[in-house]
Structure 1
Amino acid sequence: MYGSGPVCLAHPGGPGIGWEYLRMPALEQQLTMVYLEPVGTGGSGRLPSHPHGYTRERYSRFVELVTGRLGVPEVYLLGHSHGAFVAAHHALHRPQRLAGVILYEGAPVTGAEHGEEAGRRAAEFAAKHAGEPGLAEVLAAFGAMAAIADDEDTLAVAKGVLPAYFADYWGDEERLAPVRDAVRATYISGLDEDLRPEVIDDRAALKDLRVPALVIVGRHDVICGPRWSEELHALIPDSRLVVLEDSGHLGHIEEPELFNAAVTDFVRGTGPV
């Protein structure tokens, strides 16, 4: 927990990625940032069914418990990447204590359609950086995703693909390499306790979302690109959409001033808490 002002819970991505990459020092000048360490990562412990059972519903229940412990009537919930899927679920099913939700690099669906779009954008990334010596390592990491089976594999893939998560990693490698080096990751299977995949489609439900919503996306995001944020924006009544033109999947690092302005303007616009 850092900063002061209205309380904002920040749920990292993955699932299984450590929270530290999501640290937002500039926002801490305006908000009380509570960085969640989701169950299964770091010191939060693991489920008896680990690496299975980490569903959105499970994460949402823990978000609700943390919210209750904070002693404030309402909070903002910022979810990044997989955390945005969790935040959307929480806003749909447990909206009572939410002043607003920030869906940062999310999507309304997973499954084949989402995978095909990510594959197409990854191919565009590869074509754009065809002469880059580090590209082969990134593509090998993408190819190894399907065979991940433990923490070591997860960390290697997370670090391996990370250059693709920035708009221009190699053009600013001196600044961005430490972010890559600091990544922590735990293997989470993506299956529920009965070993079934959790396939998400929130399109119908989001039309009835009544929590104030801000959608943020980087123009060059490979994993959850603008197509999905534009769809989230179209589905959610009265939502706001911010596109960071020079960012990939990590706009709070790539364009921190614009990112911070978008979040603080949203919080101010939804009233004091």
Structure 2
Amino acid sequence: MNQRDLTVNGIRLHVTEEGAGPPLLLLHGLSANAAMMEPEITGLARSFRVTAPDLRGHGRSDRPAAYTLNDHVQDLLGLLGALNLDRVAVLGVSMGSYIAQALTIAAPERVSALVLVVTKASGTTSSTARYLAEHANELQGMTPEQIRLWLGNRMFAPHTPEAVKQTFAAFMAKQERAGMTLDPQQLEAANRAMEGFDFRHGLPRLNVPALVISGRHDILNPPDAGEEVALLIPDARFEVLEDSGHLATLEQTPQFVELVESFLKV
């Protein structure tokens, strides 16, 4: 994988690139980064030129104290300009899917196709923040690391293989050692950027091929939330990964990559 830092929109973004072919912009979820999606990047890079930034506030990119959803959109438009990419397919996972929707509504001429994974069309905050608030009493006294592990274990489907869970735990431990996890203030900034988004009026105006993928056992953005998005986008395709929770791209990586490849190659 090729990795480099690019300064766009007044922010330093760490960017991972791999593969050759049609360009595909990959956007990770809340508190994650491109390094945590290496299996997915490697799988998709067989068919596409994958560009996966660590989004503002995350990973090895700059982490300002406050920012907005529109800041994310402007970062990505600046990144596309820096890479001389006129149009790209955009794939967003969870928080990345909200940013992907915002980007496509703001600049539909820059998006050739849209893939939204474990997504929703609106929210008063991120789904993670909502879920943690619902379980606040249970989390009292836990350290940030304990909360991350508690949440991570609940994002899997009931029958996800133990090997997959161990892979995720190893990723999380590696992130912790490398200083890549977000402290409470940085996580709060990331959550604030997602407050009050609502794409339900913009999605019906899109004229872009779209695939929406949900995990059957997703506790954060269940399939009915994904189906709502698919129904709002004209002619969108909706698929459910039956053996996945919110970590669908990790739990069923081969099936996920096959779905995306078959859709984007049409």
Could you say whether these structures have the same fold, taking a TM-score greater than 0.5 normalized by the shorter chain as the test?
yes
Query: Which aligned segments of 4 or more residues in structure 1 are displaced greater than 4 angstroms?
Result: 112-115
Residue of structure 2 equivalent to 1:2: 18
Name the counterpart of 2:244: 247
Q: Which residue matches 1:163?
A: 153
**Do residues 174 (structure 1) and 137 (structure 2) align?**
no
TM-score (norm 1): 0.77
Q: Matches of 2:127 and 2:35 in 1, distance apart?
A: 26
Q: What do residues 212-243 of structure 1 show as CA deviations (whole Å, max 9, x unaligned)?
A: 21101111111011011110011110111111
Matches within 5 A, 1:85-104: 85-104=98-117
Distance 1:114 1:81, change over 3 A: closer
Q: 1:214·1:266 contact (CA, 8 Å) conserved in 2?
A: yes
Hey, what's the Cα distance between the residues in 2 that align with 1:113 and 1:102?
19
Question: Structure 2: any 5+ residue segments left out of the alignment?
Answer: 1-16, 176-180
**Deviation (angstroms), 1:260:** 1.2
**CA–CA distance in structure 2, aligned partners of residues 118 and 43 of structure 1:** 26
Q: Quote the Cα distance in structure 2 between the aligned partners of 1:78 and 1:104.
A: 8
Shift of 1:208: 1.1
Task: Decide whether the 8 Å contact of 2:125 with 2:192 is kept in 1.
Answer: no
What secondary structure, in the 3-state scheme, does the structure 1 residue paired with 2:70 have? helix
1:45 pairs, out of 62, 82, 104, with 62
Residues 135-154 of structure 1: per-residue CA shift (max 9 Å, x gap):
xxxx78x9439x99xxx72x
Amino acid at match of 1:175: V
2:234 counterpart of 1:237: yes
Q: CA deviation at 1:172?
A: 2.0
- Cα distance in 2 for partners of 1:17, 1:252 equals 13
CA offsets 1:69-126 (integer angstroms, 9 cap, x no match): 22233211111111111000001011221111111111011128978x969xx9xxxx
Partner SS state of residue 60, structure 1:
helix
In 2, Cα distance between the equivalents of 1:7 and 1:156? Answer: 38
Distance in 2 (CA, whole Å) between partners of 1:118 and 1:226 is 16
Out of 36, 44, 51, the position equivalent to 1:34 is 51
- The residue number in structure 2 matching 1:130 is none
User: Residues 162 and 209 (structure 1 numbering): CA distance in 2 closer, same or farther, change over 3 Å?
Assistant: same
CA distance in 1, matches of 2:102, 2:246: 21
Q: TM-score, normalised by structure 2?
A: 0.79
> Aligned equivalents of 1:175 and 1:263: distance in 2?
21
CA distance in 1, matches of 2:106, 2:197: 14
Match of 2:119 in 1: 106
Alignment partner, residue 188 of structure 1? 187
Higher strand share: 2
Q: Which runs of 5+ in 1 are unaligned?
A: 123-138
Letter in structure 1 aligned against 2:249: H
Secondary structure, counterpart of 1:17 in structure 2:
coil
Q: 2:139 aligns with which of 144, 159, 184?
A: 144
CA–CA distance in 2 between the matches of 1:70 and 1:60?
Answer: 15
The answer on whether the counterparts of 2:156 and 2:217 sit within 8 Å (CA) in structure 1 is yes
- Following the alignment from structure 2 to structure 1, what is the Cα–Cα distance between the partners of residues 98 and 21? 25
Q: Secondary structure at the match of 1:39?
A: coil
2: CA distance between counterparts of 1:82 and 1:166?
A: 17
Distance 1:66 1:118, change over 3 A: same
